Structure 1
Amino acid sequence: MRSILFATLIGLLGAAALHILIILAVPYFTGNDAYTRISDLGEPLRFYPLPNETVAGGGLINDDPEMRLAVCALSVAENPVRLYAPPGVPFWSVGLFDSAANEVFSMNDRTAVAGALDVVVATAVQLNAIRKALPQALSQSILVEMPDEDGYVVLRTFVPTATMDEAARAFLANAACEAIDQGTLE
């Protein structure tokens, strides 16, 4: 009797573990993970604002009416990437994620230099080269090591009133997600 109970318990635990593993692996095998969906928006290294209403075809949306979001797919395989946006909104935050949706880095306007977004994302080798010959243009930039070559960025800004919507949209439109030419670092 004891061995039947033990076998049943092991079977249930194994089935539960297998069930959880399958649920967690579904986005990877379906190509419906966040990185793939953001990459499908268009060219990499460009911020794409997300609409606040459902679009035909079921693309990505921003479901918070008091926030405006933009996303950018990036790769640091060839060159480091600079994320930049001038100040101009009461609040913004940025999150950097690897291709598996693990958060690598986040910050907001309160921790930024003069309220501007200025982040350089690079591999460990690229960061060493940047630190050796730090160009004046990057002297105020926050340097972030990307453990994976591919990832994405989510830039958010708060819109507490309708009168601030235009400023929030302009902030996202002026945000840059661009490769840094290695020649400028040497």
Structure 2
Amino acid sequence: MTRVAGSLAIVLAAGLVLGGITHLAMVLAMPMLAGNTAFHRHAAALSPGETRLLVAQQDGNDVPFADPAVAMAVCAFDITEGPLRVEAPMPEGFGSLSVHGRDGTVLYSVTDRTAVNGVVTLVVMTRQQHDEALAAGRSDEASQELRFVSPRLQGLVVVRALAPYPSSLPEARERAAAMECMSAND
């Protein structure tokens, strides 16, 4: 009898461990298996250099569960051909600019505290593009811009502008929509 109970306990323990491993593997694999990611939705709808103002909606089409006091705009990037230059005017209150990979991972983020004359200028580039820019000696421009060496070639740039009062929401939307994404070679 004790032998049967011991065997049953071993089988149950093995089943729980196997179930736990399977569950953990599925949870970790979900971001790679999901097909309707933010990158896929926005990159397909945006042409290169186009900025799109995102709207908080209850049906979840653009940004589900978004804060109604925050205006957001997005642009998609692909830096295989050259660096991306982003210029985003920051609001009077709080603003942020973030770079996300295709999988939604936040790669880089800055706030309005880094703005020079109210504008955050960010250049997203690969390691090779960064080394070429350093070799070319373009350091006079670099004092006014932030440079980010991205580990991913494609992704999204998102700007957020907080409207401290409901009456300032149109201005926050205007600032967010004014973000410019362009090739740094232009």
* Cα distance in 2, alignment partners of residues 176 and 138 from structure 1: 18
Q: Is 1:59 the equivalent of 2:61?
A: yes
Change (3 A) 1:5 1:160: same
Q: Is 1:154 the equivalent of 2:158?
A: yes
TM-score under structure 1 length normalisation:
0.84
Change (3 A) 1:59 1:40: farther
Contact 1:120–1:142 (CA under 8 A) maintained in structure 2: yes
Aligned-partner residue type, residue 7 of structure 1: V
Change (3 A) 1:10 1:66: same
Aligned length: 180
* Cα distance in 1, alignment partners of residues 7 and 116 from structure 2: 65
**What is the RMSD computed on CA atoms of the aligned residues?**
2.2
In structure 2, runs of 5+ residues without a counterpart are none
Contact 1:80–1:179 (CA under 8 A) maintained in structure 2: yes
In structure 1, runs of 5+ residues without a counterpart are none
Correspondence for 1:13 among 14, 17, 20 = 17
Q: Greater shift after overlay, 147-156 or 37-46?
A: 37-46
Q: Greater shift after overlay, 16-25 or 116-125?
A: 16-25
Q: Which runs of structure 2 are paired with 1:27-38 in the superposition (5 Å)?
A: 27-38=31-42
Change (3 A) 1:76 1:112: same
Report the secondary structure of 2:138's partner residue.
coil
Which residue in the other structure is 1:84 paired with? 87
TM-score under structure 2 length normalisation:
0.84
Q: Which has the larger radius of gyration?
A: 2
Q: Deviations over 1:65-113 (max 9, x none)?
A: 1100111111111110011023443221011111122211111011333
Report the secondary structure of 2:157's partner residue.
strand
* Cα distance in 2, alignment partners of residues 3 and 113 from structure 1: 70
